[in-house]
Amino acid sequence: MDIKKLNTNDYNNWIKEQLSLLAEPKFQQFTAKLLPGVTDILGVRLPLLRQMAKQLAKGDWKAYLSHALDSSYEEIMLQGMALGYAKGGLQEKRGYLQAFIPKINNWSVCDSACSAIKLAEQQPEEFWDFLMPYLDSKKEFQVRFALVQLLDYYVNETYLGRVLDAVQQAGQGGYYANMAQAWAVSICYREFPEETLPFLKENSLNDFTHNKAIQKITESLKVPEEKKEIARRMKRQG
């Protein structure tokens, strides 16, 4: 079936048919263990979802997203991926992003969407401004979305200081948001150890998040041993 020829009503029928064909019961059980509390998992592997999302992005992606169903984990995942793969800038995608981000209810959809949505590469300053309000959200995965975007695309010489400031100001209201903060700090230290060290010495992150950042640094294969040892000394004793 040529996805470009589908009308608005056909998109969801095509998606449900494809997901049904691709679903694997054993993979469904495996995924469910990784995502406690997430229901309606069909069991479709991520590479296959990416292929579907790329097809959807080549069609009338606006019509698809305007009428997309949220009845399964995979259907929500497809929306984030297709939004990333579709052609267009922030001005064109803003409304669709604002509609999609509140649907994120697990780390897998969050992180997979972030890997596909690369607006930070095209419009770094504009997308930074778009992301900042989400750091103050009371919703755990909205905070995580902003943080993962920062650690994916903004850990560079231009934005490093702003990333660390943003990580510190992010609302610390949930395990997965805290883990994203820790992850972001570890990436900053991995890429810029000298510049990030003062942050490790003095920050206002809670002890759990701070120590998770140290743990991620020391477990990284990309951080030299001498830099790991320096980071270990920053661990807080509780």
Q: What is the pLDDT of residue 172?
A: 62
d(CA 226, CA 172): 30
User: 3-state SS of the chain: helix, strand, coil percent to 5?
Assistant: 70, 0, 30
125 token code pair: 């300053």
| Sequence-ordered alpha helix ranges (H) in 68-223 | 73-85, 90-100, 107-116, 119-122, 124-135, 140-153, 160-169, 175-191, 193-201, 207-219
Q: What is the pLDDT of residue 121?
A: 97
Q: What is the pLDDT of residue 11?
A: 86
In three-state secondary structure terms, 135 is helix
Full pLDDT tens readout for the chain, 238 residues: 566 666 766 888 899 999 999 999 999 999 999 999 999 999 999 999 999 999 999 999 999 999 999 999 999 999 999 999 999 999 999 999 999 999 999 999 999 999 999 999 999 999 999 999 999 999 999 999 999 999 999 999 999 999 999 999 997 679 999 999 999 999 999 999 999 999 999 999 999 999 999 999 999 999 999 999 999 999 998 6
Domain limits of the chain? 1-106, 118-238
In three-state secondary structure terms, 105 is coil
pTM: predicted TM-score of the whole model, two decimal places: 0.95
